[in-house]
Amino acid sequence: MKRKIVVFLLISACFILQSTVFKSLALANISPNLLIVIVSSFGFMRGKKSGLLIGFFSGLLVDISYGEVIGFYSLMYMYIGYFNGFFKKIFYPEDVKLPMALIAGSDFLYGILIYFFLFLFRKRYEFGYYLMHIIIPELVYTILVTLVLYRVILFINNKLEESEKRSASKFV
């Protein structure tokens, strides 16, 4: 129960930061995607199921606030969390290269899917412009923020795991 409350608070805090503070700190109208960082991180730290559930609730927040249709962003974040969960077996907390690569790949895929579903279907074919002016700058900004946010998420996850191990040992 403690984990669910902490994860809910973390998702809410990152969503609020992404929607307010980082919108005002936007560089060329580009702001980092903190929810991708959370969904990807919990996906490879905790596995496919956690990534899927955290992705669903993160996407639901985006759908409710900004989406035209409920479920579009939920589905995208769910898939991102689920596919990051496949890397749980090769995840080592000390190594920062895998998390950075997975978060970068997730943000790039997110940008491509947004272009494909929201722009290409509306006959907006300027992919080169969208790639160079939206996807790549958001990717770079997200990676820079990930350097700090990932350490915070890792610290919170480690503390929650220690707490769960202590409470489990009390029952044995």
Which pLDDT tens digit goes with each residue over 39-97?
999 999 999 999 999 999 999 999 999 888 899 999 999 999 999 999 999 988 888 89
Answer CATH for 2-15+30-162 from 1.10.1760, 3.40.1130, 1.10.3470, 1.10.4030: 1.10.1760
Residue ranges covered by each domain of the chain: 2-15+30-162
Looking at residue 124, its pLDDT comes to 76
Per-residue pLDDT at 170 exceeds 90: no
Per-residue pLDDT at 6 exceeds 90: yes
Task: Answer yes or no: are the C-beta atoms of 85 and 45 closer than 8 Å.
Answer: no
Q: Which residues contact residue 163 at a Cβ distance below 8 angstroms, ignoring those fewer than 6 apart?
A: 2
| CA distance between the termini of the chain | 19
Where does 47-135 have alpha helices with state H? 48-66, 72-84, 97-114, 127-130
Looking at residue 2, its pLDDT comes to 87
